[in-house]
Structure 1
Amino acid sequence: MTTIELAREGFRRAQNREDKVYEAMNLLARANRSVLDAAVLQEAFTTSDFPVLLADAFERQAVGAYRDTPKEFEDVLVDVTVEDFHRRKLVDLWGADAFEKVEEGEEYKGGKLNETKVEHGLGKYGRTYQVTWELFKSRRFSELANFPRTLGQGAVKSQNNSVADLLVTGGAWNADFFGEVATVPLNADTLRAAITALSTRENHRGELVDVSDLHLVHGPALRAQVTDLLVNLSEIEVTTDLGGGKASKVKITNPFRNLVKPLESRSVGQRLGAAGATAWALVQGKSSDLPSIIRTNLAGHPEVDIRVKRDQGQRVGGGDVPIEDGSFNDDTIAYRGRSVLGIDPAFTEGVYASKGA
């Protein structure tokens, strides 16, 4: 009979907590390789320190998955951090007042940060997953090792969905966000006209709208067309007015390269449905002085929080029951992922949408 000596395991021999956490996850990963490794893992679960170290590893893995999972709208989300769940008016941090001339010996005039009409706040998202006691007994440890990634990816999907729900409603661009939705196809002429229209609007400060950080939002069906128009083509064909009701097509150097950035979203494409083959929109980027979408974060809380439910009960003769023996009610081990953030419209004077021809 093989004797298991946990003192030799990395999670016990490591000199600092960082290495102990790493070794705990490493032991879980090894458990599918041999009967001995599986037996070592099962023995480790009976200790007081290993489940705690593994829980820490799970949270780090979930956060890593959160950071690695594609965030479709990261380039157009402006972050604001708050201390609580109260909704509040957005302070305009992007609209600096011009300095006023100060005469000799004259006091400087005071300025202030203006509170806007835009409201923003937090939302809470989460999901629980249950791992069965039978999973441990059948040594299906790969399923246990994979679930933190599922929680991290789920947190990102909830964010992607929140933004897509803001932009699209009922299979069409959200008129409450975009205002009047045009009916023009995407091409060089219509994109140029849209940018011109935005550049002549005034924002809430009475200034002309900035068009230096625009993102063209579209579904996967428009990928080839958008890529050609914004990235691939060095020259494009545009319509030139010759006067007298006459027009001509001419080729010019592509003005949209490095001016407008493509933003493809599967979440948007799914919500647009059939309209995703033609619909397109312009949204301000995060470096604009007129951000279109605000992401609210809760101070001091991670991107995704992982917890395990402790409801195993106690032995009849006394003593705690380890987590891996399962819940008192149904023998499951329940893990919960939580993400706290808010997605709200900001300044929408700088957005444009068309459902296509």
Structure 2
Amino acid sequence: MNMSLLEIAESISQETSGTTPASYRRRLEARPGLMETALGMAKLIGHYREGSSRAALEINEALTTSDLAQYASGMLIDREIQQNYPALPTQWPKFLTPTTVKDFKPKYMSELVLGAQVFKDVPERTGYPMAKGPRLAEYPISAKKTGLMYGWSFEARINDDLDQLLMVPNAFPQMAVDTEDDRGLRLLINLETGALNTGFFNAGNGNVGTLKLNPTNLQTVVTSLRTKRDPDTGTIIPSGRLQLVVGYALEAEAERILAAEKLLVSDGNGGYREEPNPLRGKVDLVVNEKQLGESWIVMPKPGTAIRAPFWFAKLRGYESPDFRYKADGGRSMGGGDVVATEGSFDDDTVWFRGRHIMGAAHGDPTLTYGSDNSGV
């Protein structure tokens, strides 16, 4: 649950230990006068969001007359942005296996496959037999820097346009999680059309088709994935926990297929007979809330199979987005720095910036199947 601004203000004095920039900011912020102002501004902003016109007037007066109120407001917005990010729902963890990278260079997700070999008998005073050599498959992934800037203009502040300023705590974290989903989900589908990503689901990978989603076809796909053989040893590759991935268009049909206790099966004489549903409890249904159209995918649940089909990387030490406002207001003629919320020296604008470092990449296609649902 999201913290209120008042709760954020009351917690600012905590967690001040350490050498990180955030801890340093909190030590600067944990001053009695500033804390009192922060609590007051938090209450005012809360009343403003509830529709109080009086609160709007008081906020504007505080922002235009008090350096302390301006600093406290920026401090509250910074903390609200930080706590909003992890609270927002995102789709990619349903499909991609997370990892970290230490820098911006490509990291190779090496799949060292020794196969399903078993130990051999070792007679007395004889040497141990050698295992068969491994097959090495490598899938590169690298993190990239992403970000945006937004400016709250001097004119907007004078015109009491507080909505522009107060939308930043919600808009920037949402942009961060939307970027994660955009990078991750495009590995599976085209987000504009819902079509399968042909760079991964293709004839060369042997994981694409046109089968219509129904009990018989789904059972065929599941059986095929669970019986894939290691090319080196001929033994079955553990498939992990399989999941059926659909968008809203196929959600109801997928639920009927997986939840049914009995299925009608042809008896070969023009009639049907009831049989237990072999898929019930064996396959998870996962709805991709950003998937258009009727394509459907069967793949391992992240973290359950050694051959992960999709990877998502974050830079170690920078796993969360970094949000800042620009403090380049210059110095007043009488001496002393001008607070950031007075606007920049160049154009009087208060600039906010969000940075997020991440990367996504395809892995092993062996345990996947995708269909456009156009067949029979």
Task: Tell me, yes or no, whether TM beats 0.5.
Answer: yes
Count of residues paired in the alignment: 334
Q: Distance in 1 between matches of 2:73 and 2:373?
A: 51
Instruction: Answer whether contact 1:238 1:251 (CA < 8 A) is retained.
Output: yes
Tell me which residue corresponds to 1:197. 224
1:67 to 62, 86, 94: 86
State yes or no: 1:291 paired with 2:291.
Answer: no
Q: How does 1:33-182 map to 2 (within 5 A)?
A: 33=52, 34-35=54-55, 37-38=58-59, 41-42=62-63, 46-47=67-68, 51=71, 55=74, 57-92=76-111, 100=119, 116-169=137-190, 171=193, 172-180=195-203, 181-182=208-209
Instruction: Answer whether contact 1:210 1:350 (CA < 8 A) is retained.
Output: no
Instruction: Tell me which moved more, 111-120 or 292-301.
Output: 111-120
The one-letter code matched in structure 2 to 1:173 is L
Helix, strand or coil at the partner of 1:92: strand
Q: Distance in 2 between matches of 1:288 and 1:303?
A: 25
Q: Distance in 1 between matches of 2:159 and 2:113?
A: 57
Q: Residues 58-80 of structure 1: CA distance to partner in whole angstroms, max 9, x if unpaired? A: 44433433222221131222121
Q: Distance in 2 between matches of 1:40 and 1:106?
A: 89
Q: Distance in 2 between matches of 1:150 and 1:164?
A: 21
| Alpha carbons of structure 1 residues 12 and 116: separation in structure 2 relative to 1, 3 Å | closer
Helix, strand or coil at the partner of 1:168: coil
**Percent of aligned pairs sharing the same letter:** 23
| Alpha carbons of structure 1 residues 254 and 319: separation in structure 2 relative to 1, 3 Å | same
Instruction: Tell me which moved more, 101-110 or 175-184.
Output: 101-110
Tell me which residue corresponds to 2:317. 300
Instruction: Answer whether contact 1:295 1:344 (CA < 8 A) is retained.
Output: yes
Instruction: Answer whether contact 2:241 2:283 (CA < 8 A) is retained.
Output: yes
Helix, strand or coil at the partner of 1:349: coil
Q: Residues 251-276 of structure 1: CA distance to partner in whole angstroms, max 9, x if unpaired? A: 3333323322222224331xxxxxx1
Q: Residues 297-338 of structure 1: CA distance to partner in whole angstroms, max 9, x if unpaired? A: 111113211011223222234332211111223221111111
Instruction: Answer whether contact 1:78 1:295 (CA < 8 A) is retained.
Output: yes
Q: Residues 130-177 of structure 1: CA distance to partner in whole angstroms, max 9, x if unpaired? A: 112233334444542331221111111111111222112484212331
The one-letter code matched in structure 1 to 2:178 is K
Helix, strand or coil at the partner of 1:297: strand
The one-letter code matched in structure 2 to 1:256 is L
Q: 5+ unaligned residues in a row in structure 2: which ranges? A: 1-7, 17-25
The one-letter code matched in structure 2 to 1:73 is W
Structure with higher RCO (Cα < 8 A, 6+ apart): 1
Helix, strand or coil at the partner of 2:209: coil
Q: How does 1:331-342 map to 2 (within 5 A)?
A: 331-342=348-359
Tell me which residue corresponds to 1:183. 210
The one-letter code matched in structure 1 to 2:286 is L
State yes or no: 1:253 paired with 2:276.
Answer: yes
Q: Distance in 1 between matches of 2:78 and 2:130?
A: 47
Deviation of 1:342 after TM superposition, in Å, equals 0.9
Q: Distance in 2 between matches of 1:204 and 1:331?
A: 65
State yes or no: 1:27 paired with 2:41.
Answer: yes
TM-score of the aligned structures, taking structure 2 as reference length? 0.74
The one-letter code matched in structure 2 to 1:83 is K
Instruction: Answer whether contact 2:109 2:140 (CA < 8 A) is retained.
Output: yes
Deviation of 1:85 after TM superposition, in Å, equals 0.7
Helix, strand or coil at the partner of 1:42: helix
Helix, strand or coil at the partner of 1:268: coil
Helix, strand or coil at the partner of 1:177: coil
The one-letter code matched in structure 2 to 1:337 is G
Tell me which residue corresponds to 2:329. 312
Q: 5+ unaligned residues in a row in structure 1: which ranges? A: 1-9, 270-275
Instruction: Answer whether contact 1:87 1:120 (CA < 8 A) is retained.
Output: yes
Q: Distance in 1 between matches of 2:70 and 2:112?
A: 47
Instruction: Answer whether contact 2:146 2:357 (CA < 8 A) is retained.
Output: yes
| Alpha carbons of structure 1 residues 251 and 66: separation in structure 2 relative to 1, 3 Å | farther
Q: Distance in 1 between matches of 2:77 and 2:125?
A: 63
2:364 to 330, 335, 347: 347
The one-letter code matched in structure 2 to 1:326 is G
TM-score of the aligned structures, taking structure 1 as reference length? 0.78
